[in-house]
Structure 1
Amino acid sequence: MFVAAEPFEEHLVLSVEDRVAPNKDEVLGKTVIPLQNIDRRLDYKPVNSRWYNLEKHVIVEGDQKKKEVKFSSRIHLRICLEGGYHVLDESTHYSSDLRPTAKQLWKPSIGVLELGILSAQGLLPMKTKDGRGTTDAYCVAKYGQKWVRTRTIIDSFAPKWNEQYTWEVYDPCTVITIGVFDNCHLQGGEKAAGTRDTRIGKVRIRLSTLETDRVYTHSYPLIVLLPSGVKKMGEVQLAVRFTCSSLLNILHMYSQPLLPKMHYLHPLSVMQLDNLRHQATQIVSMRLSRAEPPLRKEVVDMRKSKANFFRIMGVLSPLVAVGKWFDQICHWKNPLTTILIHVLFVILILYPELILPTIFLYLFLIGVWYFRWRPRQPPYMDTRLSHADTAHPDELDEEFDTFPTSRQPDIVRMRYDRLRSVAGRIQTVVGDLATQGERLQSLLSWRDPRATALFVTFCLVAAVVLYVTPFRVVAFLTGLYVLRHPRFRHKLPSVPLNFFRRLPARTDSML
């Protein structure tokens, strides 16, 4: 599998070679296939195979030696452009687009996202010009396949852009990313011509955390992690509004799979996903570098921090608190509370059909109680969540070290790189566990108002239904559903699983 981008300017070149000696191959023939001539498919039905001519350049002896293209052989190929998969050109934790590549499979948009990039304040000098510090700032915003860039405000620590952009929204569980950069390619700066544009800071906003038809005007801190530690580079003021065409369409999206069907019916391997994501990122970088003005590779790169262990501890802390509370109940720290718990325990033992409706009613009441403390503004970069402000200098030196490392001899470097690779995989697993726990926490936190409203409504309906339905009947039907025959199972994820995967985690708030 390879990543191909429209308008399909490049060709597929396939060569057949003979290994005649170690490190020496002889080309037997090759074929050049224009991508415009390749069949496209929307599902997993096999496409027709074709024979392609293999041609070879040969030197013809004559008055003048010249190269001619001669027929060499034929090769039988089955090639197609996959339209049912989504090209993952960004992290799945804060993806801005989840649609399949084929436009025929796109569903109608559910709303419009409006972004106003207003101004920045308190920017720090990023370079020197005529012996004094200066900053030439511009903003880049990315959502879906659309990248936008503001104009560059020259020599200003409080630039005012006042530019507005709009995007069509196809999925509310997506993230828009806004980055602020210093333009290092203007004349007059005392830096080399090939210097990368310096990243001043970035902001991510998850659309599902926004209330519909409400304008959010807020100043977000611009925080970066440098080898010397965390540093606040200033603030950027944004105005964001998410307008939906139909609330029912948005609520219906919470029951749909996050990715296109082909990712579940015929999933790609982890190695394929990593390879394809790398190819897609390189293509995006190449395309943006040809824009006017060009956007360079540093605009595409996004770093991730290592705070997953502390995220796990944050998720488990409520369970620890419940354990301590239950321990206090067992030790009669509060006699009145302990007596009430004993009474409740006896009631539930005598009437087991009240267990589930009581739990759902309790969750409903907690959700309503937490409504008062729902977030008023979209979350932004949190240094405490990333634990960047408490990082040890050795940890920062390791993070900003090159890969492979340049600070150790060859043998130690190899072992050090292997250790970092293993640690990265462990952090990925721990981060996934933290994400699942944070999604559970977001059920009642009103961070995603629509998801919490759906869950709270479900809890109320479930409480009412279970109050009037005999518990034994519910247990019997639940057992039959869990043990159902495979022919009655669907390959696509279930509605509860789709809803859970769409719940926001705190990964988009990490540096």
Structure 2
Amino acid sequence: PEWNQVFAFSKERVQSSELEVFVKDREMVGRDDYFGRVVFDLNEVPTRVPPDSPLAPQWYRLENRRGEGKVRGEVMVAVWMGTQADEAFPEAWHSDASYVHGEGVFNIRSKVYVSPKLWYLRVNVIEAQDIIPNDRSRLPEVSVKVQVGNQVLKTKICSTRTANPLWNEDLVFVAAEPFEEQLVLTVEDRVHPSKDDVLGRINLPLNIFEKRLDHRPVHSRWFNLEKFGFGVLEADRRKELKFSSRINLRVCLEGGYHVLDESTMYISDQRPTARQLWKQPVGIVEVGILGAQGLLPMKMNNGRGSTDAYCVAKYGQKWVRTRTILDTFSPKWNEQYTWEVYDPCTVITLGVFDNCHLGSAAAARDSQIGKVRIRLSTLEAHRIYTHSYPLIVLHPSGVKKMGELQLALRFTSLSLAHMIYLYGHPLLPKMHYLHPFTVNQLDNLRYQAMNIVAVRLGRAEPPLRKEVVEYMLDVDSHMWSLRRSKANFFRIISLLSGMISVGRWFGDVCHWKNPITSVLVHVLFLILIWYPELILPTLCLYMFLIGLWNYRFQPRHPPHMDTKLSWAEAAHPDELDEEFDTFPTSRSHDVVRLRYDRIRGVAGRIQTVVGDIATQGERFQSLLSWRDPRATSLFIVFCLCAAMVLYVTPFRVVALVGGLYMLRHPRFRSKLPSVPSNFFKRLAAQTDSLL
């Protein structure tokens, strides 16, 4: 018999000084009986360190059960002390997974996956000729429906009723190599608002279309349409037809775009689809997935909590999955992976999951334990970062820390000049800027690309399951969440807080709250007025000094998930329940009505702020629009006088007088609003024209 099976024992769990290899018959498996055995002293086992060649197996004669001499028969065995870098390690049967059976044996092994190569398929529906409606007493209202796999798009109905309709509309789809789907095009006639008659259709394989690398035009082609049902019911008469309707299409596979299958905020790859357009890599990122600590129990096993954890890392088109460490809350993977980096302003994503496919519950879903994102631009080149990152998951009951993920990272730069060049280069390929997609198109195409990637990786062996891929790609990042809205609002407030602080400081200077500071600002102002050529150099030097000062406070480790920034700790349970609700909603009418009223209240405040901003803008417009004749007359007379004064007065004098007026002492100030402020607030806006 031949087995060609490798068994792996963790050195930390070995408590014996001998290794015994037994040869049994199938009928002896449940008993202590066996044909023979071979015993190895672990102290004499050789050590193999790659890149050494594999250890050659040898024949060993079997001992009988009582150890009284040899029995007939030999077994070929190779025994060595190795590392996880051994070629045999990924396919080995590990001692801590001995109870896994069936398909679960394959689901616990480490694997490397590659995302399918995605293309944008652009279908330009130009025109059709000789369209014959089913009811020949009327002219047709024609539209075209195009389907690729599960993606369906329709053109608008032709504006004129004619047998030769014209559309000239672009429809864009996502297609993946190898091209398994066909382009199915259907011409429809709107005979009733709720009914369309199919006038013809055509099926086209995707591999007949040209692959375009730039924005050069593609030649259009005419295709004959088959009458609906004719190709199935009357195949023998097809050759007899000498007349058929036809449609003019311009179809191409776009190789100059990068197909977005993840959020642009966490993008990990920006290369165009066509390999001919790829640049040389600028660096290499090495990730050591060491282990995890303090994981929480994810399921019940024999009456106690257990976790069977594995880690998934995604960067670019390459996905990696570590082996599953069974029944432990502190798994140790110690696996290292490498990716080529084509742009440092990208993000690598690592997620930890609980394996629920060990042979017993095949229909279960792998549970999420947590996720870590690391932006490569935050890593210093050639430095090794070793750190534990918290695994934080948001549940309907609130935010929960599920444990910590221990990582070692190193980013190696291959070309500093190329790296500097990239920082001035567009983020995406140039086709995204020459012929951009709309925001709605990008959202729809991203959703379709995610589905294609999830389906293709789910067909691998072992599969990288749909729930894992969707969690790694943030498939629901575009959904409404009151918590995210609050987080983004306070992010804006934190940005404006710096400007507000500067404004308050300048107000204190103008009101002489600190006389020494006010005097120093006056001196600096007079120097800059006398030497205006020093303004820009002084500003640049000031920013340089601030940058040097802030170098002391740079983070020692790459940033990770921040619960305060995400507004997760202060989120109300009902807000979290709304965030985890399905779309469309599955909650009761009373709950939906309550949430709708809450959104109306939030939207009312936003509406007020937007209206105030619009009012200020309309007041600026009304300065010269003669909406208020007296205000416009006063303003243009003031502009004429100001122009005459400024023509004869040197700019330094104007700046000096204006600056000293703003910095004047409170003794010369009035508590009432200034004249320009009063004049501006009296200007007319269009609010009185609103219903």
What band does the TM-score fall into relative to the shorter chain? 0.7 to 0.9
Equivalent in the alignment of 2:510:
330
Give 1:418 shift: 12
1:187 to 359, 362, 369: 359
Matched, 1:199 2:368: yes
Of 550, 566, 570, the residue aligned with 1:386 is 566
Q: Among the aligned pairs, what percent are the same residue?
A: 70
The 3-state SS of whatever aligns with 1:124 is: coil
Provide, for residues 443-497 of structure 1, a one-character-per-residue CA deviation record: whole Å limited to 9, x for no partner.
Answer: xxxxxxxxxxxxxxxxxxxxxxxxxxxx99xxxxxxxxxxxxxxxxxxxxxxxxx
CA distance in 2, matches of 1:299, 1:245: 33
Corresponding residue number in structure 1 for 2:431:
262
Tell me how far apart the structure 2 counterparts of residues 58 and 6 of structure 1 sit (CA, whole Å): 30
Q: Which residue of 2 aligns with 1:210?
A: 379
Residue in structure 2 matching 1:102, options 274, 278, 292 = 274
2:524 aligned with 1:358: no
Aligned to 1:9: 180
The residue aligned with 2:206 is 35
Aligned-partner residue type, residue 588 of structure 2: Q
Give 3-state SS (helix, strand or coil) of 1:383's partner. Answer: coil
Name the aligned partner's letter for residue 318 of structure 1. G
Structure-1 separation of matches of 2:565 and 2:383? 27
Contact 1:405 / 1:417 at 8 angstroms: preserved in 2?
A: no
> Does the CA contact (< 8 Å) of 1:58 and 1:67 recur in 2?
no
One-letter amino acid of the counterpart of residue 519, structure 2:
I
CA contact (8 A) 1:100 1:106 kept: yes
Helix, strand or coil: the match of 1:386? Answer: coil
What is the CA-CA distance between 1:238 and the residue it aligns to? Answer: 0.8
Q: Match of 1:261, as an amino acid?
A: K
CA spacing shift, 1:68–1:178, aligned 2, 3 Å: farther
Q: What do residues 374-417 of structure 1 show as CA deviations (whole Å, max 9, x unaligned)?
A: 12111111111101011112211221222222223399569939
1:371 to 551, 560, 576: 551
Partner of 1:49: 220
Worse-superposed segment, 20-29 or 336-345: 20-29
Corresponding residue SS for 1:381: coil
Matches within 5 A, 1:18-417: 18-19=189-190, 24-56=195-227, 70=238, 72-188=244-360, 193-301=362-470, 302=474, 303-304=476-477, 306=484, 307-409=487-589, 416=596
Q: Is the 8 A contact 2:199 2:228 kept in 1?
A: no
Q: Tell me if the contact between 2:231 and 2:238 (Cα under 8 Å) persists in the aligned partners.
A: no
- Confirm or deny: 8 A CA contact 1:405 1:413 kept in the other structure: no
Q: Aligned partners of 1:57, 1:272: CA distance in 2, in Å?
A: 30
Q: Given that residues 404 and 417 in structure 1 are in contact (C-alpha distance below 8 angstroms), is that contact kept between their aligned partners in structure 2?
A: no
1:66/1:264 CA distance change after superposition, 3 Å = closer
TM-score by length of 1: 0.76
Please say which structure displays the higher CA radius of gyration: 2
Shift in alpha-carbon separation, 1:258–1:414, aligned structure 2, 3 A: farther
Structure 2 length-normalised TM: 0.57
Q: Which range is displaced more, 165-174 or 2-11?
A: 2-11
State the distance in 2 between where 1:166 and 1:221 align: 23
> 1:326-379: per-residue Cα shift (whole Å, max 9, x none)?
233233333222211111111111111111110100000111111111121111
> Greater relative contact order (Cα 8 A, min sep 6): structure 1 or 2?
1
Post-superposition shift, 1:224?
Answer: 0.6
Separation in structure 1 between the aligned mates of residue 501 and residue 187 of structure 2, nearest angstrom: 65
| Counterpart code for 1:201 | G
What letter matches 2:427 in structure 1? Answer: L
Rounded Cα–Cα distance in structure 2 between residues aligned with 1:321 and 1:358: 21
Give the partner amino acid of 2:428.
L
- Asked if the contact 2:396–2:573 (Cα under 8 Å) also holds between the matched residues in 1, the reply is yes
Question: CA offsets, 1:272-323, max 9 Å, x none?
Answer: 1111111101101111111222122222322546010111122122222222
Distance 2:511 2:229 in 1: 91
Structure 2 CA distance for aligned equivalents of residues 219 and 415 of structure 1? 39
1:46 CA displacement: 1.3
CA distance in 1: counterparts of 2:463 and 2:451, whole angstroms = 15
Q: CA RMSD in A?
A: 2.8
Q: Quote the Cα distance in structure 1 between the aligned partners of 2:216 and 2:260.
A: 23
Residue 67 to residue 134, structure 1, CA distance change in 2 (3 Å): farther
- Aligned equivalents of 2:382 and 2:591: distance in 1? 59
Farther off after superposition, 299-308 or 376-385: 299-308
Counterpart of 1:200 in 2: which secondary structure? strand
Structure 1 portions without partners, runs of 5+: 431-470, 473-511
